[in-house]
Amino acid sequence: MKANRVTELFGIQYPVIAGGMVWCSGWRLAAAVSNAGGLGLLGAGSMHPETLIEHIDKMNAATDKPWGINIPLMYPEIERLIEIIIEKGVKIVFTSAGSPKKYTARFHEAGIKVAHVVSSSKFAKKCEEAGVDAVVAEGFEAGGHNGREETTTMALIPQVREAISLPLIAAGGIGSGKAMLAAMALGAEGVQIGTLFAVSEESSASDAFKQLCVGLGEDGTMLALKKISPTRLIKNELYTKIAEAENRGAEADELRELLGRAASKRGIFEGDIENGELEIGQIASAIKAVKPISQIMHDLIADFEATKARIAQL
């Protein structure tokens, strides 16, 4: 695979970024992806500041390859997280769930490269105006929190490509080398992968969650919680209660009460597969086994190269 703007920007072998997923993307997962030639990201959204410090230190011990941190900008202790990131000399930050305008210059002053996650070409343009180094365009297929536009990855990527000149990373529903090649055919220069890595051996998600994910059918997830923040969830007892409430017009406060405290931790990390909030992407139905990151990355790149060779003969 040839180098491109994404691999050169981050100093990585393959243009593959691991999503910084809450309760999944700890130091083991992030280090494994970086050591396999991609870019691992710590998911700071589910870490207290002290926990993030611990994971940064463990990352530095586990890999000498490039890696970064994903920060949801709506995080309650965002200022403390930023202080830690700068103090610890982290070199790459992916931001999401908010405007990058407020913090990008501050990161750049500290020598940190910044990518921001968007769900529309409108917000991609705002990212370019804010001075970010790369944009992640995430489609409706993705797990966890989604954009309100509900635009699929196949529809989103070419429109974002036309709207901006920055390096573009595709996300949402990418779980194979074939999908990676398709995203690049549409104008992406790299991919961000969540679900495929969330069910890996190194993911910090519970075994119960991983086994549920690899057994899902194509209808196993739905987008819900649109009055709070659109979120793709596995259908379970909690989802059924949420869907029933939404169908009768429940407001945001009632939906928050149904979720309860630490709903995603309860489901993903602790393994309460009936009453927890279980976030995963649509592509989970194509994943049939829990594998180590080294094998996942090998298979991903091999599939990409084989598909590219097959397409060249058409």
Contact at 8 Å (CB) between 92 and 59?
no
- Residue 74 is predicted with a pLDDT of 85
- Claim: this prediction has a pTM higher than 0.75: yes
- Residue 154 is predicted with a pLDDT of 96
- Segment holding 137, helix H or strand E: strand 134-138
Specify the amino acid at residue 19: G
pLDDT band at 282 (very low <50, low <70, confident <90, very high): very high
Partners of 190 in the beta sheet?
A: 169
Write out pLDDT tens, residues 232-255: 999 999 999 999 999 999 999 999
- Residue 293 is predicted with a pLDDT of 98
CA distance 282 to 304: 20
- Segment holding 115, helix H or strand E: strand 113-118
Residue located via tokens 């992916």: 94
CA distance 115 to 286: 28
pLDDT band at 42 (very low <50, low <70, confident <90, very high): very high
| Nearby residues of 81 by Cβ (< 8 Å), 6 or more positions away | 44, 49, 52, 71, 75
**Is 90 exceeded by the pLDDT of residue 261?**
no
- Residue 11 is predicted with a pLDDT of 98
* Alpha-carbon distance values, 4 to 51, 184, 239 (Å): 34, 11, 41
Say what angle helices 293-312 and 177-185 make with each other, to 10 degrees: 50
Tokens matching residue 223: 């987008």
Write out pLDDT tens, residues 163-221: 999 999 999 999 999 999 999 999 999 999 999 999 999 999 999 999 999 999 999 99
**Is 90 exceeded by the pLDDT of residue 276?**
yes
Alpha carbons within 13 angstroms on the beta-carbon side of residue 49 total: 13
Read off the pLDDT of each residue in 283-289 and give the average, rounded to a whole number: 97
Pair type for strands 168-171 and 113-118? unpaired
Write out pLDDT tens, residues 52-77: 999 999 999 999 999 999 999 888 88
Residue located via tokens 């494994």: 32
pLDDT band at 28 (very low <50, low <70, confident <90, very high): very high
Write out pLDDT tens, residues 100-149: 998 999 999 999 999 999 999 999 999 999 999 999 999 999 998 888 88
* Alpha-carbon distance values, 16 to 107, 219, 264 (Å): 22, 27, 25
